[in-house]
Structure 1
Amino acid sequence: MTIRRAGRDDVAAVLGLLDGATEWLVARGRTDQWGTEPHSTSPRRVAQITGFADEEDGLWVAEADGRVVGALAVGAAMPYVPAPEEPELYVRLLVTDRASAGQNLGGLLLDHARKLARAAGVGMLRVDCFAGGDGALVRYYEKQGFTRDVEFGVPRANDSDWPGQVLVQRL
């Protein structure tokens, strides 16, 4: 597997990874994280991923056998989380191909984020994730060396707030 800087030509593949992850969640009755609709049909999500691709060092993809199997976006903290108290690199997106589960793709992409942070002279890596359901995603990041920081909620129209957890890792 190789990790490379992604560009606009990779946006469709990244959206495909997100669509596949959503299908996987829906098949397991876990619609509270990302809903049921494909990300590739959401103008907001398409614009977000395109924006990540347009940022210098903002979007990275993992490839295996010429196929995109994972994506990582890094940069400034998302606007819905508390601002950092020190310089950081923020993991804005981490998604992997469900067909490649068990190959530690997420861990390898997080290792890449750590390398980027160190190269930038930053001593803190943060990420946020869905904190609802059975808490499996929070536990995943804890297994990757992150510790829980603050909980937050993102308001949703006609629904309860989306429950989130910020996690931090000192480098």
Structure 2
Amino acid sequence: MMIRRAGRDEVPAVLALLDGATEWLVARGQTEQWGTAPHSTSPRRVAQITGFADDGLWVGETDGRLVGALAVGAAMEYVPPATEPELYIRLLVTERASAGQNVGGVLLDHARELARDAGVSVMRVDCFAGGDGALVRYYESQGFTRDVAFAVPRVNEPDWLGQVLVQRL
């Protein structure tokens, strides 16, 4: 897999990865994480991914096909601030057709390289902590440890349950 810096022209392809992940979750009855609507139809989400492209968006390609995306930058506003310099993973998404090929692991290795190059020894990420906890367990399998749990209040819906995870390099 080749990893390269992405720009605004890749935003539609990254949104398509997110749409595919949402479709996969919905097909399994797991709508708590991202709901049921495509990310590509949400002006807020389009603006967010465009901002990621301006700040630090990376994509993984295999045979010319986008198979994953990684965004790094400032911590999300809904998580407690870091107590030391860090690299924050704002987005990690992979193509469902590439499941089992360690696309996410390779992108996380790239994040580790970015952190080392920036001279920081801590990476943090947050993820959905609801459902069966599989996403939290995935990050733990990648060497992260649980830090703080949090909840994001939503209007007319249950709170969105999240978990911050940390990895020391």
TM-score range, shorter chain: over 0.9
Q: CA deviation at 1:54?
A: 1.1
> Once the 2 structures are TM-superposed, how far is the Cα of residue 159 of structure 1 from its aligned partner?
1.3
Q: Is 1:148 aligned to residue 146 of structure 2?
A: yes
Does 1:79 pair with 2:83?
no
Q: Which residue of 2 aligns with 1:38?
A: 38
Matches of 1:126 and 1:54 in 2, distance apart?
20
Q: Residues 64-109 of structure 1: CA distance to partner in whole angstroms, max 9, x if unpaired?
A: 1111110000011000000000000000000000000000000000
Distance 1:117 1:157 in 2: 36
Show the counterpart of 2:93: 95
Deviations 1:13-33 (A, max 9, x none): 000000000000000000000
**Which residue pairs with 2:108 in the alignment?**
110
* Count of paired positions: 169
Q: Does residue 23 of the first structure (1) align with residue 23 of the second (2)?
A: yes
Where do 5+ consecutive residues of structure 1 fail to align? none
Offset from partner CA, 1:104-149 (integer Å, 9 cap, x none): 0000000000000000000100000000000000000000000000
2:11 maps to 1:6:
no
Indicate the SS of the match to 1:33.
Answer: coil
Could you tell me how far apart the structure 2 residues matched to 1:116 and 1:44 are?
27
Aligned equivalents of 1:19 and 1:81: distance in 2?
Answer: 24
Runs of 4+ in structure 1 off by over 3 angstroms are none
Q: Which runs of 5+ in 2 are unaligned?
A: none
Under a length normalisation based on structure 2, what TM-score does the superposition of the two structures give? 0.99
Q: Distance in 2 between matches of 1:121 and 1:43?
A: 35
**Distance in 2 between the 1:134 and 1:52 partners?**
28
CA shift, 1:160, in A, is: 1.6
Q: CA RMSD of the aligned region, Å?
A: 0.4
The answer for the alignment partner of 1:69 in structure 2 is 67
**From 135, 138, 154, the counterpart of 2:136:** 138
Counterpart CA distance in 2 for 1:96 and 1:116 is 19
Secondary structure of the corresponding residue to residue 68 of structure 1: strand
| Residue 52 (str. 1) matches residue 55 (str. 2) | no
